[in-house]
Structure 1
């Protein structure tokens, strides 16, 4: 019995490793099909969509069919969201270089404002794509919701940033592993933590409704 249980668990582990590697392969392939510039964000949304379904218990969903369907439907909107955030990120980086080049000439208020905005930006980015996948709302609402949810669950936003940075570093220390697992494992970590944020927000909303109902 113990031997059969071990084999079953080993088969389950192998199955999930295979699924994650396959999903990562699709992410790379469809990012390249869109020449990265157009393909990266819809491929990432498609990958997060599958991770979300897995985390909700849909372990037998057709991976390729679901990926392609999501990729096509999110092609324009995901690129709009992704490049808005990327554009803000580029502007922040340019401002950072300017601050570095003019150290001592810029007042503390400006520097503090920059770093505060940077923190808010990172909080928003940590939840932006999961919010897009989970709620399917307009781009502006997605950014607004990502910021609010990320700020209300700042510990989970930090957890997303730290876990992803750590895993990213680990994968690039072993490049052969990155080819098979970088995107898929980063996505499943991000989506799992983001779903924890969404559940906390939903609980707060339910409590408010209950209070209003009894008021």
Structure 2
């Protein structure tokens, strides 16, 4: 549907936004679609990307920013499909635990919409699943002494075990790709905690990655942003 020049930049590792901005200036590009791969808007993520782009582009390259896509129909389908694939591993219906990256509570108090969008995302996925599973939401990856969104995952696991839950399917709702916080934090640390504290079966659904419906989502977002 068009000839697009796609470049990949990263916020905290190479290739940096500054590297890509320099390349685009050499190519005399004046307008771009900037698509942060964060499904939900937050001042800690999406806004950080926007601010960094303005800093490195020196207002010479105009960017149309796609700020969120958690409610895109194709994204919801992609999330649902990943969950359904792991549901096949259970002989009985598990409790579905959505795990979101936490942020400081002060950000939310100051107006950050992240928590609200996470909650809405959970509801949209559960509606799309088409069956009544028990489910809940917890947060991961807290750092530092200040208060962050809760409950953390260990607290939620303890609560679920106390209620008699022993089969758990975890879905990392904040992430679209696999990395340290899924492959190590969820697949090793949290799994070990769960199995040692009363959970009998623990499975983690894959992130959407290159799931076909997610690719449709990205395509739609870009075409709508032109």
TM-score by length of 2: 0.20
Between Structure 1 and Structure 2, the one with more helix by share is: 1
Could you say which structure has the higher strand fraction?
Answer: 2
Q: Normalising by structure 1, report the TM-score.
A: 0.21
